[in-house]
């Protein structure tokens, strides 16, 4: 019986899914990880995957395909480029997996691209040929699908929505070194920073925040009528709506899905985001829908499995 692995690499753990060749999710497992840069770390990953297999009556020899996503650009040829937010030896992990699962075809993908493919296969974008999944989290990234095909780009930067310039007058630098990027206003850290600035300017005390990305507390403050929180969310919506309006002039998707950690608050800002998009977009693009993603934190795992099966020839190109 052929089995497929979908492996979503996070900052502190891996979410692994075991799938049948027909695409049915059999079981999942969370594998704690640290820096994936040496043989000991690779052995932890392999051991966790082998345990996932054995508890479901399968062996390493049964694995015919595996998809693995990374938090960085992956080009159209599956080559991993820079990974600014992770310590991962991709080639070393690839070699370790090849040794452990000798019958496996391995596919690499960017994490948000994988999530977009997951939504296309089993989620909210099923049957939608052209759409973009926008992940709002620590940063801002997107997975773009046009005419049913994932757009990674020649250099793996397809979908880097977080670095669309939305404010040319910004003096503070983005993490990428440029100024006025969407990520500075629409990421979790950007929203918290905007909230703190608004509180300072208004001379009011901010609610208690658990850290620099605690948008949950900002959302709760918004619900309780906190004017500084409302201003921060409005800035996020206007910046994101403006950026999506620019994207629509290039790929003209019929659907934008909002995911990532901040996507859990979609109901709070959905109406304002939709209004901002319509205020900035070309009239011909105004009917593009903006909806929440459906698969949550399992989306990338599904996408990894799909891309692995595609690489193994299970799906037509």
248-302 pLDDT, tens digit each: 999 999 999 999 999 999 999 999 999 999 999 999 999 999 999 999 989 999 9
Give the separation between CA 168 and CA 181, rounded to whole angstroms. Answer: 9
Contact 41, 55 (CB under 8 A): no
In the 8-state DSSP scheme, what is residue 207? Answer: P
Distances (CA, A) of 242 to 108, 121, 131, 185: 31, 28, 17, 12
Share of the chain above pLDDT 70, in %: 95
Looking at domain 3-116+297-311, which of 3.40.50.970, 3.30.1490.190, 3.30.420.40, 3.40.50.150 is its CATH number?
Answer: 3.30.420.40
In the chain, where are the structural domains located?
3-116+297-311, 127-294
pTM of the model: 0.90
Check for a shared fold between 3-116+297-311 and 127-294.
yes
Residues 127-294, CATH architecture = 2-Layer Sandwich (3.30)
Comparing CA positions, the residue from 234, 243, 224, 226 lying closest to residue 183 is: 243
Find the mean pLDDT for residues 215-238.
Answer: 97
pLDDT digits (tens, 9 = 90+) for 141-163: 999 999 999 998 888 788 999 99
**42, 90 contact by CB (below 8 A):** no
Specify whether the CB–CB gap between 195 and 218 falls below 8 A.
yes
Bigger pLDDT: 158 or 46?
Answer: 46
């Amino acid at each position: 019986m052929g089995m497929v692995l979908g492996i979503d690499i996070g900052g502190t753990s891996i979410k692994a899914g075991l799938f049948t060749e027909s695409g049915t999710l059999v079981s999942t497992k969370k594998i704690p990880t640290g820096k994936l840069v040496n043989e000991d770390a690779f052995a932890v990953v392999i051991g966790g995957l082998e345990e996932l297999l054995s508890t479901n009556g399968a062996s390493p020899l049964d694995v015919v395909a595996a998809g693995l996503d990374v938090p960085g650009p992956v080009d159209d040829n599956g080559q991993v480029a820079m990974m600014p937010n992770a310590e991962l030896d991709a080639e070393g992990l690839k070699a370790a997996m090849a040794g452990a699962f000798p019958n496996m075809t391995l596919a690499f993908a960017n994490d948000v691209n994988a999530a977009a493919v997951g939504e296309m296969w089993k989620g909210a974008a099923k049957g939608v040929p052209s759409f973009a999944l926008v992940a709002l989290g620590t940063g801002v990234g997107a997975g773009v699908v046009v005419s049913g095909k994932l757009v990674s780009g020649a250099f793996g930067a397809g979908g880097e929505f977080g670095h669309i310039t939305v404010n040319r007058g910004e003096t503070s630098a983005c993490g990428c070194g440029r100024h006025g990027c969407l990520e500075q206003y629409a990421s979790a850290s950007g929203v918290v920073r905007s909230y703190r600035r608004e509180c300072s300017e208004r001379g009011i005390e901010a609610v208690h925040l658990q850290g620099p990305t605690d948008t949950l507390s900002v959302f709760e403050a918004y619900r309780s009528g906190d004017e500084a929180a409302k201003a921060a969310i409005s800035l996020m919506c206007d910046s994101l709506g403006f950026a999506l309006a620019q994207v629509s002039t290039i790929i003209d998707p019929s659907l934008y899905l909002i995911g990532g950690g901040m996507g859990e608050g979609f109901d709070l800002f959905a109406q304002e985001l939709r209004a901002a998009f319509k205020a900035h977009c070309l009239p011909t693009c105004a009917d593009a829908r903006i909806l929440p993603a459906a698969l949550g934190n399992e989306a990338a795992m599904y996408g990894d499995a799909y891309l692995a099966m595609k690489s193994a020839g299970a799906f037509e190109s």
